[in-house]
Homo-oligomer: A and B are copies of this chain.
Amino acid sequence: MTRNKLKLGIFGFGCVGTGLYKVLEEAESVDATIKKICIKHPDKPRPIDKKYFTTDKNELLYDSEIGVIVELIDDADAAFAIVSEAMKNGKSVVSANKKMIAEHLPELVKLEKKYQVPLLYEASVCASIPIIRNLEEYYDNDLLTSVSGIFNGSTNFILTKMIHEKLSYPVVLQEAQAKGFAESDPTLDVEGIDPKYKLCIILFHAFGLITKPESIFNFGISRISDFDLEFARQRNFTIKLIARCNKNNNEITGLCAPTFIEKENTLAHVNYEYNGVILKSAFSEKQLMIGKGAGDKPTGSAVLSDISALTYDYRYENKKYIHLNKQLKLVDTKIYKVYVRYPDPFSGFNDFDSIEEQYSSILGNYLIGHICLRKLAHSSWINDTNINVIFFS
């Protein structure tokens, strides 16, 4: 079999772009060379020759020699404009932009079909873990029942520090920000929005469902207090920000929220910037994939694997979306067991189907109960920052 020689046009030369450059340098077996890199700030010092850089996107998008556009910028709207223009021009695209992919899946699937060009985005979900490729190729039948896990490295780093070093959320967040590890606006990570984008991409490749990110419930880690941590410790749990989805016949459920994890669960040992994905299927039972979920080189290596796949004309076939049951629907009527810490008085008792435990003390109050996801999501109290919710797994 022959392999294509590729000429790349890269958008963005930040953390991932620089990582990709380093990785490409060392991977001699991948026959891909960088032709041009489009950047916003031409005066920034760069590790390679100035001739590679331009600020004019059209120098890449309309260069007939460039067969592959690698999109590695932050801005999701600008990214979508670049990616769709590239595809219209018949160029293959590799992207690491989870927000852009998750928000534009219907358009992107149409573009892939209309212009018959591959769009690969392994690096957008859990960086170095090849989850999308495995969902597409290996779990390509209808036996998969659930995908869940730790999809965000920054929050897993924060939670690991909070639990292992008994530090409070604001202290750890500040440290992570000082080290440049968390964004100055950490909202997307700590409120569980970033892993929700990833969950949307997984829902598409796991089950063939396209859904809008805003249809999925997310709850973050920013309200986790010492009281909550002490509760977890007493019951021998750790806490992880878990994104999860399940398929039951044609009904799909999905959510992203902090979750108690038993110490016997392997996910309890997935710490710091590592991500972990658990797949359950009718016959292979539980499978777990663990790897670095962030960082320039792990992400760069996922981008490299996509580029390498293009040398063999690989593309996602979107098999489940095309071949499997189209009657799938996202439902929010499932009942979940949750822990809720609340200040007195608490107006939410009637929202619960049942309450298993209730505890009050001078330090705080909590209940453990069963509640319908829709009721929880639309409750009057969920936005009260004095109230925290943690799911049971």
A residues sitting closer than 8 Å to B (CB atoms) are 1, 3, 19, 22-23, 26-30, 127-130, 133-134, 137-143, 266, 269-270, 281-292, 297-298, 300-302, 304-305, 308-309, 312, 314, 317, 323-324
Q: Beyond A143-B304, A288-B290: 16 further Cβ-contacts under 8 Å?
A: A1-B317, A22-B283, A23-B283, A26-B282, A29-B141, A128-B287, A139-B305, A281-B301, A284-B291, A284-B298, A284-B301, A286-B291, A286-B292, A288-B288, A288-B289, A290-B290
Are A141 and B27 CB-contacts (below 8 A) given A269-B269, A312-B317? yes
Complex Cα distance A139/B306, Å?
Answer: 10
Complex Cα distance A1/B116, Å?
Answer: 12
**A226 CB to nearest B CB, Å:** 26
Task: Determine whether the beta carbon of A324 is less than 8 Å from that of B291.
Answer: no
Q: How many copies does the complex hold?
A: 2
Chain B residues with CB under 8 A of A29:
141-142, 323-324
Chain B residues with CB under 8 A of A143:
23, 26-27, 301, 304
Complex Cα distance A269/B262, Å?
Answer: 13
Complex Cα distance A27/B324, Å?
Answer: 11
Complex Cα distance A140/B130, Å?
Answer: 12
Complex Cα distance A19/B284, Å?
Answer: 11
Chain B residues with CB under 8 A of A23:
143, 282-283
Are A129 and B290 CB-contacts (below 8 A) given A141-B305, A141-B308, A305-B141? no
Complex Cα distance A291/B292, Å?
Answer: 19
Task: Determine whether the beta carbon of A137 is less than 8 Å from that of B287.
Answer: no
Task: Determine whether the beta carbon of A284 is less than 8 Å from that of B302.
Answer: yes
Complex Cα distance A236/B210, Å?
Answer: 48
Task: Determine whether the beta carbon of A290 is less than 8 Å from that of B305.
Answer: no
Task: Determine whether the beta carbon of B289 is less than 8 Å from that of A141.
Answer: no
A-B contact pairs, 30 of them (CB 8 A): A1-B317, A22-B283, A23-B143, A26-B282, A27-B141, A27-B142, A29-B142, A29-B324, A128-B284, A133-B134, A133-B137, A133-B138, A134-B134, A137-B137, A140-B305, A140-B312, A141-B308, A143-B304, A269-B269, A281-B301, A283-B304, A284-B291, A284-B302, A285-B291, A286-B291, A286-B292, A287-B290, A288-B288, A288-B290, A290-B290
Complex Cα distance A138/B141, Å?
Answer: 20
**A377 CB to nearest B CB, Å:** 32
Task: Determine whether the beta carbon of B297 is less than 8 Å from that of A283.
Answer: yes
Chain B residues with CB under 8 A of A19:
283
**A125 CB to nearest B CB, Å:** 13
Task: Determine whether the beta carbon of A140 is less than 8 Å from that of B324.
Answer: no
Chain B residues with CB under 8 A of A283:
19, 22-23, 26, 128, 297-298, 300-301, 304
Task: Determine whether the beta carbon of B312 is less than 8 Å from that of A297.
Answer: no
Task: Determine whether the beta carbon of A308 is less than 8 Å from that of B140.
Answer: yes
